[in-house]
Chains A and B, each alone.
Chain A
Amino acid sequence: DQQVKQNSPSLSVQEGRISILNCDYTNSMFDYFLWYKKYPAEGPTFLISISSIKDKNEDGRFTVFLNKSAKHLSLHIVPSQPGDSAVYFCAAQGGSEKLVFGKGTKLTVNP
């Protein structure tokens, strides 16, 4: 049973516009959430994270929002650039070093 769900397998946006990637989780014990980005033939790389004590974390063009009551988080990329085209994984952690990943969303940013 998937504890972390990314319901959109793919997303396509125009360069310069906002990309919004969504993630839902079911386990209330999760207290730390991360987004990883993955290019083809490479391993995932850490992008941004948020603790459950916060509802927003921003790093340059990337912002992660957390809604604990809805068990939902989202990643906003503004403005989107062609180099952002990749697969984005949402991950959650709670009580141990284990990361539980979603299946990923493939983002395509069109020039």
Chain B
Amino acid sequence: DAGVIQSPRHEVTEMGQEVTLRCKPISGHNSLFWYRQTMMRGLELLIYFNNNVPIDDSGMPEDRFSAKMPNASFSTLKIQPSEPRDSAVYFCASNGQPSDTQYFGPGTRLTVL
């Protein structure tokens, strides 16, 4: 089992540029979660999908952030335009049932200069 796959693993960009992070959940999992980890705020949920439908996006910081899940095997988190304060590690996680454990990907370390 390949686990949750995220790409890229590292991204360095300049302020103002568009950034797209990608996630492939574990096959058969119905829910997908995007988290952000920073020193100040720890690990916080940005948005989650169930059966490709966004359920709760209350953690998305502002309109510069958007997330999509066009099918059961792919999701993107886009930041446009990016700012230095967006620098963080972004994790994607998935689970099969609401009561199941969430399985995390290895994360994408984003640095915005």
Contact = CB atoms under 8 A, between A and B. Distances in A.
Interface string A61-104: 00000000000000000000000000001000000111111111
Given A97-B48, A97-B50, A45 B104 contact: yes
Interface stretch (B65-73, B80-88, B91-99): B91-99
Contacts, number: 51
Given A97-B48, A97-B95, A98-B48, A46 B102 contact: yes
Contact of B43 (A41, A42, A49, A89): A89
A44 B50 contact: no
The size bracket of the interface on A is 10 to 19
Q: Is the interface of B mostly helix, strand, loop or mixed?
A: strand
Contacts of A104: 42-43
24 contacts: A41-B106, A42-B106, A42-B107, A43-B91, A43-B105, A44-B43, A46-B101, A46-B102, A46-B103, A89-B42, A89-B43, A97-B31, A97-B50, A97-B55, A97-B95, A98-B56, A99-B33, A99-B102, A101-B35, A101-B42, A101-B43, A101-B44, A102-B42, A103-B41
